[in-house]
Amino acid sequence: MALHISSGCFTMMCHSRAHRIRALASEGSATLNTVVEEKVKLGGSDLKVSRVGIGAWSWGDTTYWNNFEWNDRSEKAAREAFNVSIDEGLTFFDTAEVYGSGLALGAINSETLLGRFIKERKEKDPDVEIAVATKFAALPWRFGRQSVLTALKDSLCRLELTSVDLYQLHWPGVWGNEGYIDGLGDAVEKGLVKAVGVSNYSEKRLREAYEKLKKRGIPLAANQVNYSLIYRAPEENGVKAACDELGITIIAYSPIAQGVLTGKYTPDKPPSGPRGRIYTPEFLTRLQPLLNKITEIGDKYDKTPTQVSLNWLVAQGNVVPIPGAKTAEQAEEFRGSLGWRLTDEEVAELRSLASEIKPVIGFPVEKL
């Protein structure tokens, strides 16, 4: 989701224990409320994706993730995460042209990596179905509908694809938004994308984009926003209600709060790098009662905190979480968030505890 400027064909800075899904939890645990997971349609489009997807923000990045280093070992781990995700049925991948900054030493564009992984997988399994989403960066010097098409073609070049399944405006522009929406519609009509969406859009901007596309008979399929158990701004600012009303799917980035809801971080062991300045020891101290409850509920179902946190989001309805997978183990763990459901009482209890924690700031453009 975050803003990093990249290169490539785009020439302008162009305690983890993974649990397999089970019909019943281990002996002595609660019986799982099992659910058959089908792919879900994104909004009013015809595009169907896995109920949980994979975010590729961290792939190739050296400015926010990966301890400022990307190497062959990192790429091998990401490739394994990609392949295990597909093996586990998580076949929806989200990237962006600005993931993997060309200005950062050693970085590789995330689109380039995803395209490489897809090509390798299809050589072994030509019939594999993979849904790809990427995003247009509304940079100040980009004007009009043609800028969207030009950027999309550059993304397709890096991805080594002739079309993508979902193309999104990464954030609202300082100006030129009507032209950007026109560009999305043009991309659909030219067959370059199957569906279009936005990201970090407020309720007002969301409704405007929806109406403008509707006039051309094109549905606004999704709004990708920061949404997790401890960051519920979409519920509070009208975005979630508007999406439900208009039939627009929410794609939730940072659904486990950049790893904080996994339980792996403590006040004595906060995240490294920039995340450590966001999720401070003071914040992690306030988070502990919620994490304890998440762990307690997870133990009932033989599920990890990660799986409980993702399941909570799925339980909100009309939400597709896209946690980032840097390893095969993480990808396998994400699969365990599906096939069962928290009870309504558990969903409410977690919300009540989470409401006592003041959230950290989201992406600033959410308020534009």
- With a CB cutoff of 8 Å and minimum separation 6, the contacts of 107 are 6, 60, 61, 62, 63, 70, 100, 101
Q: Where are the beta strands (DSSP E) in 65-130?
A: 92-94
8 Å CB contact between 115 and 103: no
- With a CB cutoff of 8 Å and minimum separation 6, the contacts of 72 are none
Residue whose pair of structure tokens reads 């019909």 in the numeric block:
23
- The residue count for the chain: 368
- Please state, in angstroms and as integers, the Cα–Cα distance from residue 212 to each residue in 139, 144, 172, 271, 364, following that order: 21, 15, 15, 42, 24
- Please state, in angstroms and as integers, the Cα–Cα distance from residue 141 to each residue in 47, 172, 360, following that order: 31, 13, 30
Q: Which of 99, 201, 231, 279 is catalytic?
A: 99
Q: DSSP labels for 139-196?
A: -TT--HHHHHHHHHHHHHHHHT-S-EEEEEESS--SS-HHHHHHHHHHHHHTTSEEEE
8 Å CB contact between 101 and 5: yes
Q: What is the number of other CB atoms lying within 10 angstroms of the CB of residue 367?
A: 10
Is 99 one of the annotated active-site residues of the chain?
yes
Report the candidate in 199, 121, 107 with the shortest Cα–Cα distance to residue 160. Answer: 121
Instruction: Name the token pair of 25.
Output: 């939890």
For 165, half-sphere exposure in the C-beta direction (CA atoms, 13 angstrom radius) is 19
Q: What is the CA radius of gyration of the chain?
A: 19
Residue 168 backbone phi and psi in degrees, to 5: -125, 150
For residue 132, give the 3-state DSSP assignment.
strand
Catalytic sites, residue numbers: 99
